[in-house]
Amino acid sequence: MASLDRSIVANVPIFASLSPDELDAILRDARSVRYPKDGAVFDQGTEAHSFFVLLHGHLRVEKTTPQGQQIVVRYVSAGELFGVAQAMALKHYPATAIAVVDSVALAWPSTLWPELIAKFPALAAGALQTVGSRLQDSQARILELSSEQVEQRVAHALLRLAKQAGRKVEHGVEIDFPISRQDVAEMTGTTLHTVSRILSAWEQQGLVEGGRQRIVLRDPHKLFGIAEGHGK
């Protein structure tokens, strides 16, 4: 059991530089938790009691405005560190994390973070890198929202999803978890209706293949063209 944990955790970039002994020491303080599909791992605004590494499954991280508008911040896949609010000096989680399929995560009490980085300075560097790459992602998204048309943004979003959680299937690459038109809309700053229209049009052209909470990319290369603006 413990060795299973160690082997999967070894692939987490933030833990990669640690020795097996160090890994075991860190894993001693973790507990493994199971989240059923549609279960919340944590809720926006609640106290940031833990930080996590996802062992298995997929999470949707979403954020709601005071006015009730909702956006999808990102999806978390196995091996990723998440819920590190405390490390950024936040008392409360700034977003909600929901399991989109049955999932399993390792959880550490947030209070342990300071000792852990004191004992393993590489952890701090790793966390900085994790947060840094998320910052990059966010800024790329701001650029997209500022300068691209909806069609390009949807293409970009699908390509990113395929890269992060794509599974090769017979006719292309399928997003490896249930995702609705509404979810895509909340990732791209548009509406359910517009996403549906775009996907329908693409399906006509054989670029994608759809279904209820299912998206398969049949021609990623052409989609990439659309994302880059050569589509129109």
Partner DNA sequence: CCGGCAGCTTGCGCTAAAGCAAAGTCCACC
Partner DNA sequence: GGTGGACTTTGCTTTAGCGCAAGCTGCCGG
Interacting residues toward its own copies by CB under 8 A: 63, 65-67, 69, 71, 73, 87-90, 94-95, 117-118, 121, 124-125, 127-129, 131-136, 138-139, 141-143, 145-147, 186, 189, 228-229
Return d(Cα 100, Cα 165) in angstroms, integer.
Answer: 12
CB 15 within 8 A of CB 74: no
Return d(Cα 108, Cα 95) in angstroms, integer.
Answer: 18
Largest CA distance in the chain: 57
CB 172 within 8 A of CB 211: no
- Binders of DNA in range 146-175 (CB under 7 A): 149-151
Q: What sign does the CA torsion over 184, 186, 187, 193 have?
A: positive
The CA-to-CA distance between both ends of the chain, in Å, stands at 53
Which partner from the list its own copies, DNA, none does 102 bind, CB cut-off 5 to 8 Å by kind?
A: none
Nearest distance from residue 230's CB to its own copies, in Å? 11
Return d(Cα 209, Cα 216) in angstroms, integer.
Answer: 5
Which partner from the list its own copies, DNA, none does 124 bind, CB cut-off 5 to 8 Å by kind?
A: its own copies
Among 24, 124, 180, 225, binds DNA (CB under 7 A): 180
Nearest distance from residue 65's CB to DNA, in Å? 13
CB nearer to DNA: pick between 132 and 189: 189
Provide the binding-site residues for DNA, judged by CB under 7 A: 149-151, 180-182, 189-194, 196-197, 199-200, 203, 210-213
